[in-house]
Structure 1
Amino acid sequence: MVTIAALPRWMPPAAAGLLLIGCGDQPKSPPISDQGGEPVECALDGAAEFAPVCTLTQISSVSGPVWVVQHPDGGFRRFVLADTASGFASADGSARARSETMEGQSVTAVENDRYRWPDRDDD
């Protein structure tokens, strides 16, 4: 515990109180399941197995709709519609998305992250 006597002489007690406030519990982000969006199966950071722990939401931008896949750790990827197997391409960043169709599912991969959803019907 820090006592006022242990603080430097130049630090007024009010400033010391502000320092101690920063030591408390920080608010946590709500779980990804509480943030809305459509569940998406993902395999993050090179994981071998897919799990429905990511969510997909659509937002508007000046250049058109953007789809955001949110990760449970707070990370995310942004996608735009494209003529690919999954129908998506990276919206930004230096890493390009790779897409393939496997057993009626579309898989989009960006670096070590993979996302899987049912094939789109363009009929």
Structure 2
Amino acid sequence: MACLAILALGACGERGEGTPDRRDDQPAERIVCAHPGAPLTRDCTVERSRGEGGVILTIRHPDGAFRRLLVGGDGRAVTAADGAQQASARIVDGGETEITLAGDRYRLPATVEDTTP
């Protein structure tokens, strides 16, 4: 389990189990990401939903690949929401947290707050 705090990532629209917070008429939240061996670019989008164990971040790459991360109820523990692969986290320059999962890298701001009702 990787520990970190991730900034709340936009909150609008109807919410429910597994329902993204972002409405279709709003621009997607963009984060820095990279597949293994590729340079980091601000090309991935993030959707946020509530799951059984906490907030689920669905991160989508421009090529259609995606990852789902589960942020625990305390806003600090981050794990892969699907599959057997482990997510790891480290603090990088500027106070961001870099999550690595199967070689994919994601840079997220510092805390996650569950703003879903």
Q: TM-score by structure 2 length?
A: 0.62
Any stretches of 5+ residues in structure 1 without a counterpart?
1-33
Any stretches of 5+ residues in structure 2 without a counterpart?
1-24
Alignment partner, residue 36 of structure 2: 45
Q: Which has the higher contact order (CA 8 A, sep 6+)?
A: 2
Alignment partner, residue 118 of structure 1: 109
Q: Pick one of 83, 97, 105 that aligns with 1:106.
A: 97
Larger helix proportion, structure 1 or 2?
1
Give the counterpart letter for 2:45 in structure 1: T
Distance in structure 2 (CA, Å) of the matches to 1:35 and 1:46? 31
Q: How many matched pairs?
A: 88
Larger radius of gyration: 1
Identical counterparts, % of pairs: 31
Q: TM-score by structure 1 length?
A: 0.59
Distance in structure 2 (CA, Å) of the matches to 1:62 and 1:121? 16
Secondary structure of the equivalent of 1:92?
coil
